[in-house]
Chains A and B, each alone.
Chain A
Amino acid sequence: MAGKTSVAVKKRKRKNWWKYPVAVLIIFITILPLYVLIEMSLKRPTDLASRLSWPTYVYIDNYIKVLRDSNLLNAYKNTMLVTASVIAIEVFCGCLAAYPLARKQTRFNEVVRSVIMAVMMVPAVSVLVGVYSILVNLNGINTYWALILVTSAFGLPLSIYLYSNYIVAIPRALDDAARIDGANYFQCFWHIILPQLKPVTATVIIMKGINAWNDYLYPMYIMQKPKMYTIVLVIKQFFSESSTDLHGAAACCLLGMLPILGLYISLNKYFIKGAVDSAVK
C-alpha cells in the first residue's frame, strides 16, 4: 500500500514539473518592476547603463536627497493621519449603521439598504464638480477634515455592507436575551454585537486602508498645498516636475510604497481573505 502511494506521488511529481518554471516566470514578472525601482534608486543619476543591470556600487544619495529635499516625511504624517481617521470613521459609523439594517427588516430599512448599495456604484469622479464647489464654499480645500470626510463617504457603503452581512449571521437570540435583561439597543450593540465583529473589522481596515493610502483623485484636488500632500502626491510631484531625476523618483516610490508592501507581505493571508469577503456585485 505504502509503495503504491509513493508511486502515485512520484507520478504526480513528474507530471508537475512544468509548473515550477511557470511559477518562476509569474513571480519574475511581478518582481521586475520592483527590481527596476530598487536598482535605479541605487544608481548614480549619471549612470546610463542598462536599466536591467544591477549596479556594482551603492549610491544612497538618492534616498538622502528624497528625505532632505522633498516633503516625504511630512507626507507620511499626512497620509497616516488621513488613513487612520478614515478607517476609524468607516469602522465606527459602518458597524453602527449596519446593526439596525441587519436586525430590523422593515420596508423603510430595505429602502435605506438599497440606497446605500446604489451609492456604492457612484463613480467618485462623476460628482467631482459638485464636491469641489461645495468644499470651496465650506473652506474645505487644504484641510484634513474635508479629505477624511469625502474619502469616508465613498468608503462607507462597502463597510456597511460587510458589517450587515456579518451581523445577520449572529444569532438573534443573543440580542433578545440581553433585551429581556433590560439592556437598551446601544448596550445590546456594545456588549453583544461589537465584541464579535473582529474578523470583519480586519477586512474593513485592510480594504479601506489600502484605498485611503493609495487614493489619488480627491487628495489631488483637496490637498493643493505641498505642506498637505499625501505620499501619492509627493511621488507624482517627483515624476511630473523633475522628470529628469528618475533615480530620485525611484527612491521616493520605494519609500512611499514600502509600508503597505511590508504589511502585505507579512499579513497577506488576511489581505486575500479581505478581497474575497468584499467582492460585492
Chain B
Amino acid sequence: MKRKLKKSSMNLFYVPALAVMLVFIGLPLLNGVKLSFFKWNGYSQNMTWTGLSNYGDMFSDKNLRVSFLNTLLYGFGSMFLENILGLLAALFVNSRFKGHTAVRTFVYMPIMISSLVMGYIMYYFVQFDHGILNEILGWFGREPVDWLADASRGRILITVINSWQYCGTSMVLYLAGLQGIPDLYYEAAQIDGASVMQRFRRITMPLLVPAISSAVVINLIGSLKLNDIIISLTNGGPAQKTHSLSTYISYAYFRIERAGYASAIGVFMFAFILAVSMVANRYFRKREVEY
C-alpha cells in the first residue's frame, strides 16, 4: 500500500499545470457550452434559456456563412501559399552559396513581429492616399486603387500578407527535412542519369513527406484561427465581409452583444478545428515513408 502511494506520488507533479489549464481552459470551455444555450447580452443579469436556437441561428446568419467561407479561404489559401513559398525558400537556402544563412534569417524574421502590428505596418502600403502600392501603380500610369474597400481584394491581401509573414515556419521545417536526406541518394541517382526534376520528384518529395505533413498541419491549424491581422487590416469590413470565425466571435460578443450566440460559434469552431486536425493527421500518417 505504502509503495503504491509512493509510486503515484510522482503524478502529483502535473497537478499545478493541469490545475491552471483546468481553470482557464476546461471550465471556460464548459461555461461556453452552457452559455451557448442561452440568450445573453454578455453583462446583464438576465439570461434566458433558449435551447438550441443559437445553433439554429447559425444556419440563417449570412455574415456567419461568409465568415466561415473566409476562414476556409484563409486557412487553405495560406496553407498552400506558405508551403510553396516555404519549400522554395528552403530549396534555395539549402543550395550551397555564400550568404544562405542571411536569407534564412531574413525569411524567418517577420514572424518576430506581432501579426496585429504587421497589419498596421501594411497600412503604409495599402492606404489610398500616399500608399506605396498606389504610388507604384502611378509609376505605370495606372489609377490608384482603394485596396481595402473591396471585400474580395481585402481577403486576398489578408491571405497573401499572412502567408508571406509566416512562410518562415515552413521553410525551417523543410530545411530540417532536406538536411536529413542522405547525399548518397542524389549521387546514386546522378550516376543513373536522373535529371534535376526527376531527382526532385523521386527522391526529395517522397522523403520530405514527414516535413510536409508537419508544415501542412501547423499552417492549416494556424491559419484557420486567423485573427489578429484581420483586425488590423480590415477589422472585418467592408460590411462584415472579411471576418474569419475568430474575429466574428469577438464581433458577436462585444459589438452586437450576443454572448450566447458567440459561444455557440466558439463551440462550432472548436469542433471544426479538432476535426480538421484529426483528418489531416490521419491522412499524412499513411503517407510517411521510412528510409
Q: Which residues of B contact A (CB under 8 A)?
A: 7, 9-11, 13-14, 16-18, 20-21, 23-25, 27-32, 35, 42-43, 89, 92, 95-97, 99-100, 102-118, 120-125, 130-132, 135, 164, 168-169, 172-173, 176, 213-215, 217-218, 221, 224-225, 227-228, 231-232, 245-246, 249-250, 253-254, 259, 262-263, 266-267, 269-270, 273-274, 277, 280-281, 284
Cα of A232 to Cα of B121 in the assembled complex, Å: 13
Given contacts A119-B25, A131-B28, A153-B20, whether A239 and B173 have CB atoms under 8 Å apart is: no
A93 contacts B17, C-beta separation under 8 Å: yes
Cα of A30 to Cα of B28 in the assembled complex, Å: 39
Cα of A19 to Cα of B95 in the assembled complex, Å: 9
A123 contacts B20, C-beta separation under 8 Å: no
Q: Of A62-70, A154-162, A196-204, which stretch is located at the interface?
A: A154-162
**Nearest Cβ distance between residue A222 and chain B, in whole angstroms?**
11
Cα of A153 to Cα of B7 in the assembled complex, Å: 27
Given contacts A239-B120, A279-B218, whether A133 and B35 have CB atoms under 8 Å apart is: yes
Q: Which 5 A-B pairs have the closest CB atoms?
A: A130-B28, A214-B114, A130-B32, A97-B14, A153-B24
Q: Which residues of A contact B (CB under 8 A)?
A: 12, 16, 19-20, 22-23, 26-27, 29-31, 33, 36-37, 40, 48, 50-52, 89, 92-94, 96-97, 99-101, 103-104, 108-109, 112, 116, 118-119, 121-134, 136, 149-150, 152-154, 156-157, 160, 185, 189, 210, 213-217, 221, 232, 235-236, 239, 246, 249-250, 253, 256-257, 260-261, 264-265, 268, 271-272, 275-276, 279-281
Cα of A280 to Cα of B217 in the assembled complex, Å: 9
Cα of A104 to Cα of B96 in the assembled complex, Å: 45
A97 contacts B18, C-beta separation under 8 Å: yes
Neighbouring B residues of A116 by C-beta, 8 Å: 21
Which of A16, A51, A128, A134 meets B250, CB within 8 Å?
A128
Q: Can you list 22 residue pairs at the A/B interface with Cβ under 8 Å? A: A33-B110, A36-B125, A40-B124, A50-B130, A101-B14, A103-B10, A104-B10, A112-B14, A125-B269, A128-B249, A129-B35, A130-B35, A134-B31, A185-B13, A217-B227, A236-B232, A256-B117, A261-B109, A279-B169, A281-B213, A281-B214, A281-B217
B16 contacts A235, C-beta separation under 8 Å: no
B35 contacts A100, C-beta separation under 8 Å: no
Among A23, A31, A215, residue most surrounded by chain B Cβ atoms (within 10 Å): A23
A16 contacts B97, C-beta separation under 8 Å: yes
Neighbouring B residues of A37 by C-beta, 8 Å: 121, 124
Among B89, B116, B221, residue most surrounded by chain A Cβ atoms (within 10 Å): B116
Cα of A281 to Cα of B192 in the assembled complex, Å: 37
Neighbouring A residues of B16 by C-beta, 8 Å: 92-93, 96-97
Residue of A nearest to B120 (CB): A239
**Nearest Cβ distance between residue B172 and chain A, in whole angstroms?**
5
Neighbouring B residues of A23 by C-beta, 8 Å: 92, 97, 99-100, 102-103
Residue of B nearest to A12 (CB): B96
Neighbouring A residues of B104 by C-beta, 8 Å: 272
A133 contacts B31, C-beta separation under 8 Å: yes
Neighbouring A residues of B124 by C-beta, 8 Å: 33, 36-37, 40, 51, 246, 250
Neighbouring A residues of B42 by C-beta, 8 Å: 129, 132-133
Neighbouring A residues of B215 by C-beta, 8 Å: 279
Neighbouring B residues of A134 by C-beta, 8 Å: 27-28, 31
Neighbouring A residues of B21 by C-beta, 8 Å: 116, 119, 153, 156-157
Neighbouring B residues of A129 by C-beta, 8 Å: 28, 31-32, 35, 42, 249, 253, 259, 262-263, 266
Cα of A97 to Cα of B21 in the assembled complex, Å: 12
Cα of A271 to Cα of B113 in the assembled complex, Å: 13
Task: Supply 10 further A-B pairs (C-beta < 8 A) apart from A128-B249, A281-B284.
Answer: A125-B225, A125-B269, A133-B31, A185-B10, A189-B13, A214-B112, A216-B227, A260-B112, A261-B112, A265-B105
